[in-house]
Structure 1
Amino acid sequence: MSVIKIPYLKGFIDLEIPDMNLKGILESRAHHFHANDDEVTIVRKALENPIESSRLSELAKGKKNIVIITSDHTRPVPSKITLPILLEEIRCGSPDAEITILIATGFHRSTTYEEMTKKFGEEIVNNENLINHVCGNDSSLVKVGILPSGGELWLNRLAIGADLLVSEGFIEPHFFAGFSGGRKSVLPGVAGKTTVLANHCSKFIHDDNSRTGILEGNPIHKDMLFAAEAANLAFILNVVIDADKKIINAFAGHPVKAHADGCDFVTELASVNAVYSDIVITSNGGYPLDQNIYQSVKGMTAAEASAKEDAVIIIAAACNDGHGGEAFYQTFLENKTAHDIMDKIMGIPMESTIPDQWESQILARILIKHKVILVTDECDPKLVTDMHMLHAYTLDEALKMAYEMKGKDASITVIPDGVAVIVKK
C-alpha cells in the first residue's frame, strides 16, 4: 500500500493506493528542489543580477510615478518577502518616488483588506498605496491599441500613466497561457473586461497550442506579450516556488527575457511523461489555489492529460469560496449536458465572449470525456453537482465511487499537485 500526501487547504490529506493499482506518481521536481540560499537571498541576488536589463534602482532614478503590479489573493506569490525588497530597490534609486501597488485582479473580485493583510503583511498594507484593479470600471481604463487577435486593448490608467512600470509574480505551468508570470501581470492582470474576454475567446481556448507549458504558437500568449509591451512594462521580478510555497529561484530583469529564462527553469523541473490510467487523482495545489471551483479546473487539466478514454478524474480542492464565478456557475446550472455547453460556446464569436466562458469551455471539454469527482468538505455538495460533477467528502469515498465505475483492478495515476506539472503526452 502506497501513502501519498495530497495538498488540501493549508495542509495535506493522506491518500492510500494499493500497489497493484498504482501505475505512476507524477510530481514536479520543483517540490524536491533544494536551493542553496534562503528566500531573501535568492530574491536579492536576482535583483542584483538582472537578466538583460539595468538594475531596477538604476531604472528608477529620476522617476516620480512608479507602479508595481502585484498578484491578488488567488495567487501564492510570497509578496511578504518580495515586495519589501522590491520597494527597497526602487527607493534606493528614487527615494521620493510616489509608488502605487496595483493589485492585478484580472477578472477576479477585488482583494479584501483582510486578504491584503494576510498576503502583503500589515506594514505594507498600512504604509503603502495599494489599489485593486477593477476590470469593469471603465473610468479606470485607457484604450491603448488593438491586440494581434483583433480585440481592443484596454488597460488600467494607473499602469499606463506610470513613469516606470514594474511587476512581480510567480512562474508555474498555466493551463491555457502556457505559463503564468511575466506578461500575464498586464493581460489579464490589469486589463479591461472587453480585452480579457477577447483574449480568452473560444477559438483561442480551443487552439491546440493553448495548453500547459506551450508558448510557441500560443495565440493567448501572443496577445499577452503585445499588451505588456504596449503598457511599457519595464522590469519584472518572478519567483518559482515549491510545494510549501517557498521560493526556490527568482528571475528579474527584462520582461520577456527574464520570464523566458524562468519558464525554461520551470519546464526542466515540471515536465513529466503521462502515465495513462483508468483513474487519475490530483489536487489544485492547496491554498490559495483551491479556494473555488473556477480555479480548480486548472488541476483537472493535468489529470485530463494522463487519463485514458472514459477515465474517472478525482480532484481534491476545498472550494471554500464556492464556485468562484457567477457566470461560470450559471452556465452549468442552465444546461443539461457538457455537450450542450460546448456547442453553445463554440458558436460564440470573439467579440461576444461572455464572462468565465473559458473556464466553462475547459471544464465542459473534460466532462465530455470523463467523470469528475470533486472531493471537498468545505463546499456545498449541491454546488458541485449543479456543475455536472460528482461530490465526495473524502478521498476514500471518491476512490470507492471510482472503483464502482471502473472496477477494483482499475489502474491509477496520482498527480499530487495538478497545477505544478507539465504532463507530456
Structure 2
Amino acid sequence: MAKIKVPYSKEIWEIEIPDKNLAGILESNAHTYKANKSQEELVNEALDNCIGSKSLEELVHGKKNMVIITSDHTRPVPSKITLPIMLKRIRKINPNIEVTILVSTGFHRPTTREELINKMGKEIVEKETIVNHISTKDEDMTYLGKLPSGGDLKINKLAVETELLIAEGFIEPHFFAGFSGGRKSILPGIASAKTIMANHCSEFIASPYARTGILENNPIHTDMLYAAKKAKLAFILNVVIDSDKRIIKAFAGDSKLAHEAGCKFVSELAGVDNIKTDIVVTTNGGYPLDQNVYQSVKGMTAAEACCKKDGVIIMISACNDGHGGKSFYDNLANTSSPKEVLEKVLKIPRNETMPDQWEFQILARILDNFKVILVTNSMDPQMVKNMHMDHAYTFNEALEKAFKLKGNDAKITVIPDGVSVIVH
C-alpha cells in the first residue's frame, strides 16, 4: 500500500492507495529543492543583484512617497520576511519617505486585520499605513487608457499618484495567466472590477494559450504586461516557495525581466511528465489556497491535464470558506449541467464579463469532461452537489466512489500539490 502525504488546510494528511493502482506521483522539484542560504539571505541576494533595473535604494533616493503592493490573504507570499527587509533598506536610504502598503485584493474580499497580522506580523500592521484595494470602488480608480484587448484600464489611484510604485509577490504556475507574480500585482491586483472583467473574458479564457506555464501568445498575459507598464511599476521582488511556504529563490528588479527570470526558474522546477489515468488525485496546496472552491479550481486544472476522458478527479481541499463567490456559485448551481454553463458563457461579450465568470467557465469545462469528487469535512455537502460535483468527507470515501465508477483496477495519478506543477 502506497502512503502519500498531501496538504489539507493547515494539516498534512497521509492517504493510502493500493500499489497495483498507483501509476505515478507528479511533484514539483520545488518541494525537494534545497537552497544553500537562509530565506533572508536569498531575499537580500536578489535585492543586491537586481535584474534590468536600478537597485531599490537608488529608486527610493530623494522620493517623498511610495507605494508597495503586496498580495492578499489568498496568496502565501512570506511577507513577514520580505517586507521587513525591504522597509529596512528603504528607510536606511530615505528615513522620512511616506510608505503606503497597498493590498492587491483583485476581485477578492478585503483582507482582515487578523489575516494581515498572520501575513505580515503585528509590528508592520500596527506601524505601517496599509490600505485594502477594493476593485468595486470606482471613486478610488484612475483611468489609464485602453488595454490591448480593448477594455478600459483603470487602477487604484494611490498607485498612480505615488512617486514610486513597487510590488512584492511570488511566482508559481497559474492556470490561465501562465504564471503568477510580476505584472499580476497590477492586473488584476489593484485594477478596477471592470478592467478585471474585460481581461478575464470568456474568449481569452477559452484560448489554448491561456494555460498553465504559457506566456507567449497568452492574451491575458499581454493585457497584464501592458497594465504594469502603464502603471509605471518600477520594481518587483518576487520569490519562489516550496511546499512548506519557505523561500527557495528570489528575483528582484525590472517588473518584466525579473519576472521572466523567475518564471524560467519555476518552469524548470515545476515541469512534470504527464501520466494519463482514469483517476487523478490532486490538492490546492493546503492553506491559504484551499479555503474555497473558487481557488480550488486551480488545482483541478493540473488533474484535468492528466485525466482520461470521462475519468474521475478527486480534489482534496478544505473549502472552510465555502464556495468563495456568490456569482461563481450561482452560475453553476442555477444551471442544469456544466455544458449549459459553457454554452451560455461563450456568448457573453468581453465588456459584459460577469464577476467570477472565468472561474466558473474553467470549472464547467472540467466538469463537462470529468467527474469531480470534492473531499472536504468543512463545507456543506449540498452546496458541493449543487455545483455539479460529488462530495466526500474523507479520501477513502472518495476513492471508494471513484473505484465504483472506474473499476477496482483503475490506475491512479497523484498530484500532491496541484497548484505547483506544470504538466507537459
Instruction: Write the deviation string for residues 2-34 of structure 1: whole angstroms up to 9, x where unpaired.
Output: 100111111211111111111110000000000
The aligned counterpart of 1:400 is 400
The aligned counterpart of 2:189 is 189
Partner amino acid for 2:32? H
CA shift for structure 1 position 285: 0.1
The aligned counterpart of 1:233 is 233
SS at structure 2 position matched to 1:27? coil
CA shift for structure 1 position 54: 1.4
Q: 2:294 and 2:359 mapped to 1: Cα distance?
A: 7
The aligned counterpart of 1:43 is 43
The aligned counterpart of 1:270 is 270
The aligned counterpart of 1:317 is 317
Q: 1:56 and 1:32 mapped to 2: Cα distance?
A: 31
The aligned counterpart of 1:391 is 391
Partner amino acid for 1:79? S
SS at structure 1 position matched to 2:165? strand
8 Å CA contact retained: 1:59, 1:93: no
Matches within 5 A, 1:263-412: 263-412=263-412
Instruction: Write the deviation string for residues 184-236 of structure 1: whole angstroms up to 9, x where unpaired.
Output: 00000000011000000000000000000000000000000000000000000
The aligned counterpart of 1:415 is 415
CA shift for structure 1 position 332: 1.1
Q: Tell me whether 1:254 sits opposite 2:254 in the alignment.
A: yes
SS at structure 1 position matched to 2:269? helix
Q: Percent identity?
A: 60
8 Å CA contact retained: 1:342, 1:361: yes
8 Å CA contact retained: 1:57, 1:91: no
The aligned counterpart of 2:54 is 54
CA shift for structure 1 position 53: 1.4
SS at structure 1 position matched to 2:67? strand
Partner amino acid for 2:107? F
Partner amino acid for 2:41? T
The aligned counterpart of 2:70 is 70
Instruction: Write the deviation string for residues 340-368 of structure 1: whole angstroms up to 9, x where unpaired.
Output: 10000000010110000000000000000
CA shift for structure 1 position 92: 2.3
Instruction: Write the deviation string for residues 230-273 of structure 1: whole angstroms up to 9, x where unpaired.
Output: 00000000000000000000000011110000000000000001
8 Å CA contact retained: 1:237, 1:250: yes
Q: Tell me whether 1:220 sits opposite 2:220 in the alignment.
A: yes
The aligned counterpart of 1:22 is 22
8 Å CA contact retained: 1:332, 1:388: yes
Displaced runs of 4+ in structure 1, greater than 6 A?
A: none
Partner amino acid for 1:369? N
SS at structure 2 position matched to 1:91? helix
8 Å CA contact retained: 1:133, 1:156: yes
The two structures have a TM-score, normalised by structure 1, of 0.99
Q: 2:66 and 2:379 mapped to 1: Cα distance?
A: 41
8 Å CA contact retained: 1:106, 1:134: yes
The aligned counterpart of 1:169 is 169
CA shift for structure 1 position 88: 1.2
Partner amino acid for 1:93? I
Q: 1:46 and 1:76 mapped to 2: Cα distance?
A: 19
The two structures have a TM-score, normalised by structure 2, of 0.99
Partner amino acid for 1:273? D
Q: 1:350 and 1:180 mapped to 2: Cα distance?
A: 22
Partner amino acid for 1:58? E
Q: Tell me whether 1:113 sits opposite 2:122 in the alignment.
A: no
Instruction: Write the deviation string for residues 356-382 of structure 1: whole angstroms up to 9, x where unpaired.
Output: 000000000000000000000011111
SS at structure 2 position matched to 1:341? helix
The aligned counterpart of 1:202 is 202
- Structure 2 gaps of 5+ residues are none
SS at structure 2 position matched to 1:320? coil
SS at structure 2 position matched to 1:305? helix
Q: 2:19 and 2:48 mapped to 1: Cα distance?
A: 48
Q: 2:140 and 2:91 mapped to 1: Cα distance?
A: 26
SS at structure 2 position matched to 1:155? strand
CA shift for structure 1 position 93: 2.5
Residues paired across the two proteins, number: 424
8 Å CA contact retained: 1:284, 1:290: yes
8 Å CA contact retained: 1:68, 1:167: yes
The aligned counterpart of 1:125 is 125
Q: 2:82 and 2:55 mapped to 1: Cα distance?
A: 16
Q: 1:321 and 1:114 mapped to 2: Cα distance?
A: 16
Q: 1:334 and 1:384 mapped to 2: Cα distance?
A: 13
Q: 1:147 and 1:61 mapped to 2: Cα distance?
A: 32
Partner amino acid for 2:140? S
SS at structure 2 position matched to 1:52? coil
Q: 1:190 and 1:93 mapped to 2: Cα distance?
A: 27
Instruction: Write the deviation string for residues 280-339 of structure 1: whole angstroms up to 9, x where unpaired.
Output: 000000000000000000000000000111110001000001111110011112101001
Q: 2:58 and 2:357 mapped to 1: Cα distance?
A: 42
- Structure 1 gaps of 5+ residues are none
Q: 1:12 and 1:279 mapped to 2: Cα distance?
A: 21
Larger mean Cα displacement after TM superposition, 70-79 or 13-22: 13-22
CA shift for structure 1 position 48: 1.0
CA shift for structure 1 position 170: 0.2
Instruction: Write the deviation string for residues 366-407 of structure 1: whole angstroms up to 9, x where unpaired.
Output: 000000000000111111111110000011100000000000
Partner amino acid for 1:372? V
Q: 2:99 and 2:313 mapped to 1: Cα distance?
A: 46
